[in-house]
Structure 1
Amino acid sequence: MKILILCGGTSSEKEVSIWSAENVYQSLVNTEYQVEMVDIARLTPYELCQKILCNNFDVVFPVLHGKPGEDGSIQGFLDTIGVKYIGSGVFSCAITMDKYRFKLVCKSLGFPQPDFVAIRSKDDVDLVFDFLKLKGFPLVVKPNSQGSSVGVSIVGSKDELESALESAFNYDPIVLVEEFIRGKEITCGIIGNREPIALPLVEILPKTKFFDYESKYNPLLCDEIVPARLKESLKNRLQELAISSYKAFDCRSFGRVDMFVDSYENIYLSEINTIPGLTANSLFTKEVKAAGYTFPEIVKLLVKQALED
């Protein structure tokens, strides 16, 4: 069987994508599979199509973060040329990458989430100030379609708010301003298609102001406790929300659901990552280990599921 790993690209998360892809590659290279890794930034769409079809790859593994790999673009391309791939489909990737639309759907489905306001330009700042009157500082400012906390700020004053909005608009034409949830940040890895299972929860304790890009990929800047230090009833509620939201957005193969828990044990759904980080230090990788699997075992399982689905 021939497997092609796609990585890199042009997004702000391309380096993380390459680190993740190398970890996946090392898990497959000395197995019964023939595996190759390619940076999609080095090929035109036509060249990529030729490479996949002319070399008869059986499965493609998009290990891509941000656009175009995590927003449904690559998935639509692979659907068009009729090639099986690991991970969620076009709809799941597109809607979960678009934080604003994701939140609107969550609201309609009754999934609890932090209150927010979306703005499309700096001229909409009055909406933010109205929201501020209701929620107060601190607030979370984030671009609509970035991952790894790129462009995200926690603001505690009006002076910080202006620079945070400017930073977020550098990444996306839509910016979200959310209420800040005081409590624990919890993430839950999911594996499976029609009957997904939840991996052990991770409790995230950043040593920086919040779980930003640097603390996500520098183990010295964050403590990640697996399994999370929570009572069983709360763990069960978190895992149930993770699975129900994963299924509601028609995710498949694997993913990671990020949540918050406040001091009253209220749970808030933050986002779903359809292609979570797969580096040796990534949250998903740590959850796999805590569940008693090796990383190569999970990668092989994902390949098997892609062929069966």
Structure 2
Amino acid sequence: MTQNTSARIAVIGGGVSDEHDVSLASAAAVSRAVVELGLEVVPLTIGEDGAWHDENGGVLPAHGAVEVLADCDIAFPALHGVNGEDGAIAGFLDLSGVPYVGSPVRAGALGMDKWVTKLIADSLGIATAKAAVAGIGVGASVTTTDLKPPFVIKPATGGSSNGVFVVHERDGVAETVSRARAFGEPVLVEEYVLGREVDIAVFRDRDGELRLGSTLEIGVAPGGVFDRTQKYDGSAAFTVPAPIGERDEASIRHAAVLLYETLGCSGVARFDFFATAAGVVLNEVNTAPGMTEQSQVPLMYAATGLDYVGLIAALLESAEQSSFRNSILV
């Protein structure tokens, strides 16, 4: 976007998910960066009821939202969770003919489903926690006889650690699966992985080169999880770069690139791992990670010399260049 200072950027926040408020924070941060770049921000918000709202809070019919988007050069969705990150907003923008920052439908849908991501990672030789899946519906059961406690129980399509529980005894699995269903289905039951939580981010720049952020370690007490409160109240302890060995560093970087390419990601995606005594284990993939100035991804790139505004600029330039390539091919 360096050559088009009159560009209009639609920043989409909110969404119909339990990450609505988180998305609003990401959208606000992206909007501030767009303004700092000297570009025009066109804020659009999706309410928790699914209604579109313009920058003044007025309700827009779906066709009205399309009209606003069509008058913009690029859309920057900052939607997290279902009905957004899962490919829904990418499909909407594709059908509306609006270029956008972020992954396409396929990558969003695959990355959002932790069970499917696990199957893909396993096929690529990337280790994941041993797990079982409880199907959709109250009556759907799960067999854990091949798994060893303690267990991590979570919705397969959840985010922001919503509905994530640690269960230490097999007897507590059925009840906890029922609790997790309230946050989404199907539900995963995984063996607890004892290791250091280390994340990394990847995006493809305007020249087609993959740019990786620094590794980042999350300080989590042994036996615990990185929960929603820690993620958003400022109490999380991040160490950048992660103080891990060269072998684990190389394994994480290789696995992240392999998954980014295999899933077909665009924009920036975050890959979460555990560094264990036996090697690196994939936790999950996030194709629409949190994007406030204090979020993990911006911190990773800041450690490589790319500040927050520079990161937003690079993502916009990549989307612009991708749109240009596609217009030539049509």
Q: Is the 8 A contact 2:298 2:311 kept in 1?
A: no
Q: 2:98 matched to 1:71?
A: no
Residue aligning to 1:35: 41
Residue aligning to 1:147: 159
Q: 2:267 matched to 1:263?
A: no
What displacement does 1:21 show? 0.9
Q: 2:92 matched to 1:80?
A: no
What displacement does 1:159 show? 5.0
Taking a change above 3 Å as real, the CA distance of residues 237 and 173 of structure 1, as seen in their structure-2 partners, is closer
Task: Figure out how many residues of one structure are paired with residues of the other and give that number.
Answer: 301
| Per-residue deviation, residues 263-301 of structure 1 (Å, max 9, x unmatched) | 23x111122111100112211121121111110011011
| Per-residue deviation, residues 24-47 of structure 1 (Å, max 9, x unmatched) | 111111333111222122414222
Separation in 1 of the partners of 2:161 and 2:172? 17
* Aligned with 2:316 (options 268, 283, 303): 303
SS of 1:128's equivalent? coil
SS of 1:69's equivalent? coil
SS of 1:67's equivalent? coil
Separation in 2 of the partners of 1:34 and 1:173? 39
Separation in 2 of the partners of 1:104 and 1:230? 26
What displacement does 1:109 show? 2.7
What displacement does 1:78 show? 0.7
The Cα RMSD (Å) is 1.7
Query: Which shifted more, 196-205 or 31-40?
Result: 31-40
* Aligned with 1:50 (options 57, 63, 67): 67
Amino acid at match of 2:190: E
Q: 2:274 matched to 1:246?
A: no
Residue aligning to 1:212: 227
* Aligned with 1:167 (options 179, 189, 192): 179
Q: Is the 8 A contact 1:256 1:273 kept in 2?
A: yes
| Per-residue deviation, residues 217-249 of structure 1 (Å, max 9, x unmatched) | 1222x2111100112232122111111111111
Amino acid at match of 1:203: E
Structure 1 portions without partners, runs of 5+: none
Q: Is the 8 A contact 1:246 1:272 kept in 2?
A: no
Aligned identity (percent) is 30
Structure (1 or 2) with the greater helix fraction: 1
* Aligned with 2:199 (options 164, 167, 187): 187
Residue aligning to 1:135: 147
Taking a change above 3 Å as real, the CA distance of residues 10 and 219 of structure 1, as seen in their structure-2 partners, is same
Q: 2:16 matched to 1:3?
A: no
How high is the TM-score relative to the length of structure 2? 0.87
Residue aligning to 1:294: 307
Amino acid at match of 1:245: L
Separation in 1 of the partners of 2:231 and 2:188? 21
Separation in 2 of the partners of 1:27 and 1:181? 37
SS of 1:129's equivalent? coil
Separation in 1 of the partners of 2:140 and 2:101? 40
* Aligned with 1:25 (options 27, 31, 39): 31
Q: Is the 8 A contact 2:37 2:313 kept in 1?
A: no
Q: Is the 8 A contact 1:256 1:272 kept in 2?
A: yes
How high is the TM-score relative to the length of structure 1? 0.92
Q: Is the 8 A contact 1:122 1:165 kept in 2?
A: no
Separation in 2 of the partners of 1:45 and 1:74? 12
Separation in 2 of the partners of 1:294 and 1:94? 29
SS of 2:143's equivalent? helix
